Amino acid sequence: MSEIRAISWVSDGLVLIDQTKLPQQEINLNIETVDQLVDAIKKLAVRGAPALGAAGAWGVVIAMRQAVKEKWSNEKRNEEFLRIRNARPTAVNLAWGVDKVLPFVDQGIDEVLAKANQIAAEDEAGNRQMGKFGSSWIESKVKNRPIRALTHCNTGSLATTTWGTALGVIREMNARGILKHVFADETRPLLQGGRLTAWELAHDNIEHFVIADGAATSIIARGEVDVALIGADRVAANGDTANKIGSFAVALACKYAGIPFVVVAPESTVDVATLTGADIEIEYRDENEILSLNGQRISPAKSKGLNPAFDVTPAELISALVTEKGVYEISNGITPGSKLAKA
């Protein structure tokens, strides 16, 4: 089965799958300027925290090349680095990716490109590792087999350099033969679950049901789910986790039903400088994403929309955080700001 690569450096250029068009059309975007990259990030042509980390790092290469071509001053070039870094606020990986390569700018484009390529390679290796840790942890806790998993948003190859975080664990459980099926929350308003997760699960021939976001609570409460897994955009030192809007509701339902709620994210998403979830900036997006569907206005002209793109799930609702280093058993008081449990 061919691997999905939503963001890659191909033939000396940055290539993205335009995720706004999936699953109807598979169109590549060749990114050559900072404007093109920032636009792609803002409209979610490239999205998902780890993919944004790679976009940030490769974005610095794009800006450096453009600086040479258009004879920018260093000041202008540095402003463009910042424009990439700040294109979206909640996923810490975007700023992390830019910051990781900035110290190499004085050594030239080739050096920065090598570091960006390394970030992408490490993301892929980390995802495979998280898949193994997460799958083993779930096997040790969940006695119902085969396992019925629920996930929210898209955390797969499209949201990373390949394989995925929470969806990577689901892929690993499928490979181990312990997965029954997956419930994919459709994830309003931009339908990352109904469009993107479903597309990836179909690609891998994993049995799945797309469900309305509002259906997740009762499906979990009825005992039809054994574990819920999500990714993260930022994990605070105490374990509070920002992720796609609607994640908090899934966590509450899991607590009610007494099943594990698992966050899967690389260490680059863990931001120990942010002490609690209250300090995480939440992105508010255009109200028209809520008021319209497929470009068609569905709410009355007088209605206003409110569109927070993320919520923060309190650590007390999170059973475990799986990273490439191991498993933080948050429900046992092991938080990123304290120490890592034995993997």
Smallest distance from ligand MRU to CB 214, Å = 18
Q: How far apart (Å, rounded) are the C-alpha atoms in residues 194 and 171?
A: 18
Alpha-carbon Rg for the chain, nearest whole angstrom, is 19
Q: How far apart (Å, rounded) are the C-alpha atoms in residues 74 and 89?
A: 24
Please list the helix, strand and coil fractions of the chain in percent, rounded to the nearest 5, in that order: 45, 20, 35
Contact pick of 4, 29, 31, 48 for ligand MRU (by CB under 6 A): 48
Pick the catalytic residue: 123, 185, 233, 271?
A: 233
Smallest distance from ligand MRU to CB 96, Å = 13
Smallest distance from ligand MRU to CB 68, Å = 31
Contact pick of 50, 126, 189, 239 for ligand MRU (by CB under 6 A): 50
For residue 319, what are the CA distances in angstroms to 129, 214, 279, 285, 325?
19, 22, 21, 30, 17
DSSP 8-state symbol, 41: H
Active site residue 233: yes
Q: How crowded is residue 223: how many other Cβ atoms within 10 Å of its Cβ?
A: 12
232: contact with ligand MRU by CB under 6 A: yes
Residues 298-317, one symbol each (x = binds ligand MRU by CB under 6 A, - = not), give -----------x--------
Q: Site residues for ligand MRU, window 144-163 (CB under 6 A)?
A: 153, 155, 159-160
Residues 117-146, one symbol each (x = binds ligand MRU by CB under 6 A, - = not), give ------------------------------
Residue 175: both structure tokens together: 């490979």
Nearer to ligand MRU, 168 or 326 (CB): 168
Contact pick of 241, 244, 249, 270 for ligand MRU (by CB under 6 A): 244
DSSP assignment of 5-36:
-SEEEETTEEEEE-TTSTTT---EEEE-SHHH
DSSP assignment of 184-226:
EE--TTTTIIIIIIHHHHHHTT--EEEE-GGGHHHHHHTT--S
Residues 250-289, one symbol each (x = binds ligand MRU by CB under 6 A, - = not), give ----------------------------------------
Q: How far apart (Å, rounded) are the C-alpha atoms in residues 137 and 330?
A: 13
Per CB under 6 A, residues contacting ligand MRU are: 44, 47-50, 91, 153, 155, 159-160, 165, 192, 231-233, 243-244, 309
Catalytically active residues are 233
